[in-house]
Each structure stands twice: as structure tokens, then as C-alpha cells.
Amino acid sequence: MGSGNGRRVIVIGGGIVGTCVALCLQREGFDVVIIERDAPGEACSFGNAGGLGGGSSVAPLALPGIVRAAPRLLFDADEPLFIRWRDSPAMIPWFIRFARESALARVERNAAARASILGAVQDAYAPLIEAAGAQDLVVHGGALTVFESRDALKNAGYALELGRRYGVAMEEVDGDKAREINPALGSRVACGIVYPDSAGTINPLRLTQTLIEHFKQEGGTVRKETVLGFEFANGSPTHVITNAGTESFELAVIAAGVWSKDLAAKLGTRVLMEAQRGYHAMLPEPGISVPVRTSLADRNVIITPMEHGLRITGIAEFSHPEAPPNYVHAERIIRQARQFLPDLNADGASMWVGPRPQTPDTLPVIGPSPHHRNVLFAFGHGQNGLQLAAITGKLVSELASGHATSIDIGPFRPDRF
């Protein structure tokens, strides 16, 4: 048995992050129970673009110039950013902090922190995927980002330079080479960037489900309940309160995505995090073959070949996580994809929306609760939840076991807000 010595841990959240946290704790000898209000993997983990690292994610969302560009981003119908205005007053503190994070010194700091954790993604996933027998769900074919003009590529220069600085392998190609890599692309593509080390999954939901099944086979427990709060004794939390009763714990990990914000508040910690909802359209018979995950840089749209068709993801919609979906956004990303993939067939498309837990500095929240030694936080991964799940699990298991963490978690501390 590992250093967990059978201690009882409750992991709140059964998405890909909570699942990987639970697996890593289990591998260290903890007795782990996952509590998830839905079926595991069916919230944000269900609908993402499938990236598993090795790509272009080093740059944070808040870059120099983002404040100046805000009016265009918010009011140009071709831009990928939307705000549900009725929800916006509650988000003002988030946007103020986001603006501050666009200062050059903070961007450099945030990029360094993102590079440190993104660089550990594939090594952290490897033992979990192997143990669960999920190798068939992972592909290592690289990825492609395309631009409509050389000027657009030039405008992305700083973000690309951040990636190069931290060792992200990339190669600039012209439009003809981009179309050779992805023959479905039309003439609109002027140039592109190839990421040869990028990996992905052909089915994010099935990957989560496969890992969950392995967790259960190894003695883990999954309970479909909703966590409402905590019971305390002598000022410390000792039980989680669910819609079905209470569960005792020696250690609790909050890994419930965007819903973690309210749970953290119940434990006395204010976290600046909002729901940045992403949309996807799943095309069962796209009529084209897309060999590699392809990002449309000018549109913030990602086109991913999946097990059951072609997935098109995009949009950053800031809204209440439970707000009704606006599937006009999903229809819009189909139209934008068609501008680059002229033979695309969208008949029979299904649409989805999921609330990604976004912090203003584009860094996750990983570390001990500032007020309770027996609670760890593991949320706020934004658009990188799938990528960062396994390394988050590894870091949480190191903290729970009293080991030094394999990377510096200072930038991710919960009290930084």
C-alpha cells in the first residue's frame, strides 16, 4: 500500500479532472469515493475538442492589447466572445482582474506557470491510460492551426513565441502544405503552424468512462449525489452533506469544475472564476476526411476527427452556468467551419454546450484550502481541463501524501485572488 494508508478521501466531481485525481490518490493507497451529481464525464468533459497536450496552449487568454481589442471582440458578430449581459454585473470583479492580467509582466509570469504544468501532461497521463487499457482512445498524429492571411499569423507572433520559448515544437507551413496535411481545407487558408507532438483522444467521454471503470475495478466507489455543503466539528469540515445524506472524510478534494466556486465559498475561500461556456456541433456524416485536429486561428474554432464523426468546437460565452443554451452559437461555428472546409456536410448535427471554469489568469486552482488542512482544491482549468487532468491528479496525490510536488504549485494557489 502507498503512503495513503487507506485514509478515506472524498473527491467531489466526476469529470475528467476528478476522475484522474481519484485514480492518482487510489494509486497512492487512499480509499477514494467520487461524488458526482451527473454521470461521470457528462458535463464539460463530454464536449471538449479532445486535446491531450503537445500543442499551443502556453499563452494565457489575457494578452497585451486585449483591453484595447475588447469592443471589437464583444460587438463584432464574427468574433468568438459573447457575454450574456443579464449575468454580467456579477462578473465585473472577474473582468477587472482579467484586464490586470494582460499587463506584460503578468502575462510572462502566467505563461511560465502554464508551460510548467502543460509540459508534464503526457507523462502524467501515460500510466493512467496504460493501467486502464485506454491506449486505443489516444492518437499521436499532431495538430494543425491555420490562418487566413500572413498578417493574421504575424498578429499571433507573441503567443507563438511564448510557445517556442518553452519548448513547444512547431513548424510554419504555407497554405499548400497545410492543404497537403488536411486535404479538406479550401483555398481560404494562407498559412499554418504544425504541432507534431500534439496528442488527442477520439472520444473524451469514453476516455473518462474507461478511467472510471478502472477506478471501480480497483476498489473505488462512485456515488451519484449532489454535494450541498459541509458539516464541521471544532471548526474543521468532517462530512460532506449531499442530497442523500452525509459522508465522512479524512480528506476532501473539490474538483467540481465551475460548481467548485460555491463549494470553496462555503469553506471560506473566495475564488475569481466564471463560467466560460463552449459550444460544439457533432457531425455524424461530415462528408470529408480530416486527418488531424485543425484549429481555425482567426475564428477560435477547432475541428477534431472523433470516433463517431467530426466535432467542431468554439465560442467563449460568459454566462451563468445553468443559463439556457443559445445554439445559435453552435450553428455559427458550423458556418465558419464551412468557410474553410467547403465540402463539409452538417446534416444530422447534434449540438452541445458546457460551462468551462475560467480564472482570469488562465491558471488552475490547485492546492490546499487556505482555511482547512484536510481540503484540497483542484479546479479552474478553463479550456484545458482534459489536458491538465492527469497532472492535476498527480499533484493532488503528492500533496495528500505529504510529498514534494513535482512542479511548483505556487502560481496555482487558491488564495492568489
Q: What is the pLDDT along the chain (417 residues), one digit of tens a residue?
A: 467 778 999 999 999 999 999 999 999 999 999 999 988 888 888 889 999 987 778 999 999 998 888 777 666 666 778 888 888 899 999 999 999 999 999 999 999 999 999 999 999 999 999 999 999 999 998 999 999 999 999 999 999 999 999 999 999 999 999 999 999 999 999 999 999 999 999 999 999 999 999 999 999 999 999 999 999 999 999 999 999 999 999 999 999 999 999 999 999 999 999 999 999 999 999 999 999 999 999 889 999 999 999 999 999 999 999 999 999 999 999 999 999 999 999 999 999 999 999 999 999 999 999 999 999 999 999 999 999 999 999 999 999 999 999 999 999 999 999
**113: in domain:** no
Residue in 371, 373, 359 with CA at minimum distance from that of residue 417: 359
Q: Are residues 224 and 337 both part of a single domain?
A: no
Query: Would you mind telling me the total number of residues written for the chain in this entry?
Result: 417
Give the Cα separation of 364 and 370 in Å (integer): 16
pLDDT of residue 105: 97
- Which residue range forms the structural domain that includes residue 156? 68-104+135-198+273-358
pLDDT of residue 67: 83
Give the Cα separation of 390 and 406 in Å (integer): 13
Boundary (domain end) residue, out of 329, 358, 387: 358
Torsions phi, psi for 138 (to 5 deg):
-115, 135
Residue in 397, 12, 15 with CA at minimum distance from that of residue 207: 15
* Spatial contact of 381 and 357, defined as CB atoms under 8 Å apart: yes
- Hey, is 9 helix, strand or coil? strand
CA–CA distances in Å: residue 29 to residues 24, 329, 389:
9, 45, 19
One DSSP character per residue, 207-246 reads: HHHHHHHHHHHTT-EEEE--EEEEEEETTEEEEEEETTEE
Q: Are residues 18 and 150 both part of a single domain?
A: no
Q: Are residues 340 and 247 both part of a single domain?
A: no
Torsions phi, psi for 186 (to 5 deg):
-95, -170
DSSP 348: T
For strand 143-147 and strand 293-296, is the pairing parallel, antiparallel, or unpaired? Answer: parallel
**52: in domain:** no
The set of cell numbers assigned to 79 is 468574433
pLDDT of residue 87: 86
**410: in domain:** yes
**114: in domain:** no
Task: Tell the burial category of 68 from Cβ atoms under 10 Å away from its Cβ (0-12, 13-18, 19+).
Answer: exposed
**116: in domain:** no
**325: in domain:** yes
pLDDT of residue 75: 65
CA–CA distances in Å: residue 64 to residues 73, 156, 317, 370:
14, 12, 21, 31
DSSP 51: B
Q: Are residues 140 and 171 both part of a single domain?
A: yes
pLDDT of residue 57: 85
How many C-beta atoms lie closer than 10 Å to residue 234's C-beta?
A: 5
Task: Tell me the CATH number at 268.
Answer: 3.50.50.60
Q: Are residues 84 and 186 both part of a single domain?
A: yes
Q: Are residues 83 and 149 both part of a single domain?
A: yes
Q: Are residues 194 and 217 both part of a single domain?
A: no
Task: Tell me the CATH number at 74.
Answer: 3.30.9.10
Q: Are residues 209 and 333 both part of a single domain?
A: no
Boundary (domain end) residue, out of 313, 339, 358: 358
**118: in domain:** no
Q: Are residues 161 and 242 both part of a single domain?
A: no
Q: Which residues contact 331 (CB under 8 A, 6 or more apart)?
A: 281, 351
Total of domains in the chain: 2
Q: Are residues 145 and 189 both part of a single domain?
A: yes
Q: At what angle do helices 16-27 and 121-132 cross, to 10 degrees?
A: 80
- Hey, is 378 helix, strand or coil? strand
**93: in domain:** yes
Q: Are residues 175 and 316 both part of a single domain?
A: yes
- Hey, is 136 helix, strand or coil? helix
- Hey, is 353 helix, strand or coil? strand
- Hey, is 377 helix, strand or coil? strand
Q: At what angle do helices 204-217 and 121-132 cross, to 10 degrees?
A: 60
Q: Are residues 348 and 385 both part of a single domain?
A: no
The set of cell numbers assigned to 115 is 508551460
CA–CA distances in Å: residue 80 to residues 73, 288, 380, 393:
7, 25, 21, 31
pLDDT of residue 45: 84
Give the Cα separation of 232 and 59 in Å (integer): 40
Boundary (domain end) residue, out of 311, 327, 358: 358
- Hey, is 73 helix, strand or coil? helix
Give the position of cell 461556456. 277
